[in-house]
Amino acid sequence: MLIALVAALAFVSWYKRAPKSARTRGLIYAGIAIAVVGLISGRLNPVVAAIAGLVPLAHRALGALKLAQTLRGMGNSFRAAASGPSAGQGSDVESRFLRMHLDHDSGALSGEVLAGPYAGQTLADLSLSTLIDLHRQWRVDDPPSANLLASYLDSVHG
């Protein structure tokens, strides 16, 4: 402990006298030295374990952020489509599994499955239970498709 105190005082004294260009390098070396001593002595083990535990949480948070951005973009698309209805116009949105069409005049939402076992079929031709099964599957495989299908289900089936 006494050695650490003497080393810290010597570093502070050097830091005050050192030119700016050498200070940054000195801080980096001091940080590396502290980390090495902490790892060797076993005092940084809880910190390393906490960082390792935060990695999966950070991965999930980034995934949630990406999904939020996708949803915001889809919401903006539908909002833009609904904000300026013109006679005979509509808006189309496409995802990996689904193509949706919004009729500006009536507000009717329709869709067509683009991939998978129901490719080429319209959403109106599929049963409610089939649509719910597709929604469950797409939530894992392609969240944007699942969100589009959820919009359709809310619009048509309440």
Q: Enumerate the domain spans of the chain.
A: 2-43, 85-157
| Structure tokens given for 101 | 């069409």
Percent of the chain, pLDDT > 70?
91
Name beta bridge partners: 93: 100
Q: Which pLDDT score is estimated for 84? A: 55
Note the pLDDT tens digit of each residue in 19-68.
888 888 888 888 888 888 888 888 777 877 888 888 888 888 888 888 88
- Categorize the per-residue pLDDT at 111 as very low, low, confident or very high, splitting at 50, 70 and 90: confident
What is the mean predicted confidence (pLDDT) over 74-78? 73
> pTM for this one?
0.44
